[in-house]
A and B are shown apart, each in its own frame.
Chain A
Amino acid sequence: MGNVLILAEHRQGAVRDITFEMLAAASGVARDLGGEVVVLLPGSGLDDLAAQIAAYGVKVLVVDDPLLANFNAEKYQLVLGAAIDAYKPSLVMVGHTAQGVDLAPALAVEKDLPFVADVIGLAVEGGVLKATRQLYSGKVNAQVAFKPAETCLVTVREAAFEALEPPGGGAVEKIECPLKEDIAYRQFVEYIEAEVGDVDITQSEILVAVGRGLREEKNMPLVEELAAVIKADLCGSRAAVDAGWLPHDRQVGTSGKTVKPKLYLAVGISGAFQHVAGMKGAKAVVAINKDPDAPIFNVAHYAIVDDLLKVVPKLTEKLKELKG
């Protein structure tokens, strides 16, 4: 048949980028295999998501059921397995994501599908499907072929393919949910948003540091915008972390992290000894504080003595201009 079936991935009401990346990877394969791209979208309340994916000129099979409201590998495996039985695609694509790696191996075993994980390239050579994956921590690319089978399975690495512009013109088709009752032994409990903790500030080249001088959490967007413009990571004093404006792993000082960025922009930080001890390795220090006697100015190379609520927006604006 030559069709490619993609399992769409979405979370918290938004389609994940991996879905669009898989669409980009699939179009060439489907063309060369003489089939079409079909997307399976399980979930609940999916009209917007379905339209968004259909805009890529593909058929979207929507399985809309409250039982599928949150990702559950067991349930999604059942839905995807039923779709494979019904549509007999030549290739099934799943994201190599937390969700994908949870269900793809089990599905491969259940359906006895040849399975290649963490794929970064796909090609059809002489009518045979081949996948590229990396070995030795990315030092070697290996091209592998699948053992002959009606359907093959891959998980696709995130950001390995570039999403294309949607050409429009797809279709949405609702199909019945094969799942009739809930699975008791594996339940969705709650969705926990990860802390902004994946940044290692000890490795950051540019840091915008926040102190109590910011006064209120509602002023955080000011420094966040400034940091975004100069591609800086955010960190802060113990007081700012205590106030809950930043997670613990962004704390600079003797009881936090020692940082050594090229540029340290201290916003509303008085410069307590214990804080300064953690940032004295910074190559250039710019401090904004309304108190001219703040000890931070003893270590700052550039000093701005004024209210940060006035200075920071102007600075952001000027930097935006400079960056064009």
Chain B
Amino acid sequence: MRGMMMSENQTFTEKFDLLGCIQCGRCTGGCPVTARSNLNIRRFVYDAYHEEALEELARLAEIWDCTACHTCAVRCPKGLKPLEVLIGLRTMVIESGKTQPTVRDALESVFREGNPWEKARATRCDWMEGLEVKIAQPDTAVENLFFVCCTIAYDPRVQVIAKNLVRLLNAAGVDYGFIDDGESCCGSEVYTLGEDGLFEMIVEDNTEFLNEFQAARIVTLSPHCFTTYNRHYPDLNKPVIHYTQLLAELLDQGRLTWEGGLEKKIVFHDPCYLGKQGGIYDEPRRVLQEIKGAKLLEFGRARERSLCCEGGGGKMWVETESKKERLAETRIKDAKALGAEIVAVACPFCLLTLEDAVKSLGFEEEMRVAEIMELLGELGGGN
């Protein structure tokens, strides 16, 4: 069970800089998951200092409740990343082979097929059918290399993000290329689920694969890929941006216009992986402001205080047994109280979790959740 620590000749304490912690409790104070779980992240940082207690800590169910939203890291006055202690404990569970079957299957699928959804690699580009998509070739220079993300590629509900983006790029005359079915998972969820070894392998493979493309930059559709590439791929030879940054750029250059509008009250939900982890707050708002007739609202908990939807941190494969209200439901209730008719998101996981919450709260008649690209696609008469 101690393999992870010994292999790098580092103790658990050294690896996660546990002695740097001053036990101020800002991490637990801000942790959104405490609303529905017993998870006390400060306590874990404290207890993990005792190496002999690690195995016992790794057996606690609440280590799987963390959504890796990074609120604790954003709030830590010492610049530590308390959540990574939990990931380290998850690694111990994974290495001992005592993983939940759902997690095991997702990880195996990433290893075999390059996606966690147990879908065949060969069908990764099926979403492109009927669209004019420019495919990037490694030996041909292209300005924007698009990285789609497994969920957007395979989940029929969110494929619309990629489809509408292709239409927009074609219309705006952007120099771009999408990757063919050679694209593999960025490993975001592999990392947060604690599969250290597999993640290391993914980073090596993807770095080598992506570095071969002669592209000025990589543009990701999902904030999860965006943050993972920026945080965990030190040898990547090009910058990585999120598609909302590209859209904001195109707007500044006057290359995007829409004839239609949307007379709706829209509130933007900051995805944790884009905002708290990527520092991107203004670009998605900039895009939404361009929608004619739309009235932009703000959550009380916006930007770095945005409430996590619980979609990240591997939570698509691990259920918290808590019967308490899902954070996504809290979020949707907040949106309803604001009078929002549309909750706009810029992340496939936020879309799925928040849309589920709208359904389970029975608010379908009054409001909807939509990804920014979905809304732009509905404006019609694009340039």
Give residues in A with beta carbon < 8 Å to B. Answer: 212, 238-239, 242-244, 248, 251, 254-256, 258, 272-274, 277, 295, 298
Known: A248-B319, A273-B117. A239 touches B360 (CB 8 A): yes
Q: Is the CB of A239 within 8 A of B356?
A: yes
Q: Which of B97-122 contact A (CB under 8 A)?
A: 101-102, 105-106, 117-118
Q: Is the CB of A255 within 8 A of B359?
A: no
Closest to B328 in A: A242
Provide the residues of chain B in CB contact with A251, threshold 8 Å: 319
Q: Is the CB of A239 within 8 A of B359?
A: yes
State which of B118, B157, B326 has its C-beta within 8 Å of the C-beta of A242: B326
Provide the residues of chain A in CB contact with B105, threshold 8 Å: 258
Provide the residues of chain A in CB contact with B356, threshold 8 Å: 238-239, 242, 272
Asked if B281 is at the interface of the complex by the 8 Å CB criterion, the answer is no
Q: Is the CB of B102 within 8 A of A274?
A: no
A-B pairs with beta carbons under 8 Å apart, 28 shown: A212-B359, A239-B359, A242-B326, A242-B356, A243-B360, A248-B321, A251-B319, A254-B102, A254-B106, A254-B316, A255-B317, A255-B319, A258-B101, A258-B102, A272-B157, A272-B352, A272-B356, A273-B117, A273-B155, A273-B156, A273-B157, A274-B155, A274-B316, A274-B352, A277-B117, A277-B118, A295-B157, A298-B156
> Chain B contact residues: over half helix, strand or loop, or mixed?
loop
Provide the residues of chain A in CB contact with B359, threshold 8 Å: 212, 239
Contact with A along B292-335 (1 / 0, CB 8 A): 00000000000000000000000111110101001000000000
Q: Is the CB of B101 within 8 A of A255?
A: no
State which of B102, B154, B156, B323 has its C-beta within 8 Å of the C-beta of A255: B102
Q: Is the CB of A212 within 8 A of B318?
A: no
Closest to B323 in A: A244
Provide the residues of chain A in CB contact with B326, threshold 8 Å: 242
A76–chain B nearest beta-carbon distance, Å:
34
Q: Is the CB of B156 within 8 A of A295?
A: yes
Question: For the complex, what is the distance from the CA of A277 to the CA of B317, rounded to whole Å?
Answer: 11
Question: For the complex, what is the distance from the CA of A86 to the CA of B359, rounded to whole Å?
Answer: 65
Provide the residues of chain A in CB contact with B352, threshold 8 Å: 272, 274
Question: For the complex, what is the distance from the CA of A295 to the CA of B105, rounded to whole Å?
Answer: 23
Chain B interface residue count, CB cutoff 8 Å, equals 22
A250–chain B nearest beta-carbon distance, Å:
12
B352–chain A nearest beta-carbon distance, Å:
7
A125–chain B nearest beta-carbon distance, Å:
51
Q: Is the CB of B318 within 8 A of A255?
A: yes
Closest to B158 in A: A273
Q: Is the CB of B101 within 8 A of A273?
A: no
Closest to A272 in B: B157
Summed over the interface, the residue pairs from A and B with CB atoms below 8 Å come to a total of: 47
Residue of A244, A272, A295 contacting most chain B CB atoms (<10 Å): A272
Closest to A241 in B: B319
Provide the residues of chain B in CB contact with A239, threshold 8 Å: 356, 359-360
A129–chain B nearest beta-carbon distance, Å:
49
Closest to A273 in B: B155
Q: Which of B329-383 contact A (CB under 8 A)?
A: 352, 356, 359-360
Q: Is the CB of A254 within 8 A of B360?
A: no
Question: For the complex, what is the distance from the CA of A255 to the CA of B319, rounded to whole Å?
Answer: 5
Q: Is the CB of B315 within 8 A of A255?
A: yes
Provide the residues of chain B in CB contact with A242, threshold 8 Å: 326, 356, 360
Question: For the complex, what is the distance from the CA of A255 to the CA of B154, rounded to whole Å?
Answer: 17
Question: For the complex, what is the distance from the CA of A298 to the CA of B106, rounded to whole Å?
Answer: 22
B234–chain A nearest beta-carbon distance, Å:
31
Known: A212-B359, A255-B102. A273 touches B318 (CB 8 A): no
Question: For the complex, what is the distance from the CA of A251 to the CA of B155, rounded to whole Å?
Answer: 19
A308–chain B nearest beta-carbon distance, Å:
15
B21–chain A nearest beta-carbon distance, Å:
31
Question: For the complex, what is the distance from the CA of A273 to the CA of B160, rounded to whole Å?
Answer: 14
Provide the residues of chain A in CB contact with B323, threshold 8 Å: 244
Question: For the complex, what is the distance from the CA of A277 to the CA of B326, rounded to whole Å?
Answer: 22
Provide the residues of chain B in CB contact with A238, threshold 8 Å: 319, 356
A253–chain B nearest beta-carbon distance, Å:
9
Closest to B100 in A: A255
Question: For the complex, what is the distance from the CA of A298 to the CA of B126, rounded to whole Å?
Answer: 15
Question: For the complex, what is the distance from the CA of A238 to the CA of B352, rounded to whole Å?
Answer: 12
Closest to A295 in B: B156
B159–chain A nearest beta-carbon distance, Å:
10
Question: For the complex, what is the distance from the CA of A272 to the CA of B317, rounded to whole Å?
Answer: 14
Provide the residues of chain A in CB contact with B317, threshold 8 Å: 254-255
Question: For the complex, what is the distance from the CA of A272 to the CA of B154, rounded to whole Å?
Answer: 12
B370–chain A nearest beta-carbon distance, Å:
16
Provide the residues of chain A in CB contact with B360, threshold 8 Å: 212, 239, 242-243
B61–chain A nearest beta-carbon distance, Å:
13
Question: For the complex, what is the distance from the CA of A238 to the CA of B321, rounded to whole Å?
Answer: 12
Q: Known pairs A239-B360, A273-B156, A298-B156; list 15 more (Cβ under 8 Å).
A: A238-B319, A239-B356, A243-B360, A244-B323, A251-B319, A255-B315, A255-B318, A258-B101, A258-B102, A258-B105, A272-B356, A273-B117, A273-B154, A274-B352, A277-B118
Question: For the complex, what is the distance from the CA of A156 to the CA of B352, rounded to whole Å?
Answer: 53
Closest to A243 in B: B360
Question: For the complex, what is the distance from the CA of A258 to the CA of B104, rounded to whole Å?
Answer: 12
B198–chain A nearest beta-carbon distance, Å:
18
Provide the residues of chain B in CB contact with A258, threshold 8 Å: 101-102, 105
Provide the residues of chain B in CB contact with A243, threshold 8 Å: 360
State which of A248, A255, A295 has its C-beta within 8 Å of the C-beta of B316: A255
B121–chain A nearest beta-carbon distance, Å:
16
Question: For the complex, what is the distance from the CA of A242 to the CA of B319, rounded to whole Å?
Answer: 11
Question: For the complex, what is the distance from the CA of A212 to the CA of B356, rounded to whole Å?
Answer: 10
Question: For the complex, what is the distance from the CA of A272 to the CA of B326, rounded to whole Å?
Answer: 18
5 closest A-B pairs by beta carbon, nearest first, are A273-B155, A255-B319, A239-B360, A242-B360, A212-B359
Provide the residues of chain B in CB contact with A295, threshold 8 Å: 156-157
Question: For the complex, what is the distance from the CA of A254 to the CA of B349, rounded to whole Å?
Answer: 13
Closest to A271 in B: B156
Provide the residues of chain A in CB contact with B315, threshold 8 Å: 255
A254–chain B nearest beta-carbon distance, Å:
5
Provide the residues of chain B in CB contact with A272, threshold 8 Å: 157, 352, 356
Provide the residues of chain A in CB contact with B157, threshold 8 Å: 272-273, 295
B182–chain A nearest beta-carbon distance, Å:
23
Contact with A along B149-163 (1 / 0, CB 8 A): 000001111000000
B316–chain A nearest beta-carbon distance, Å:
6
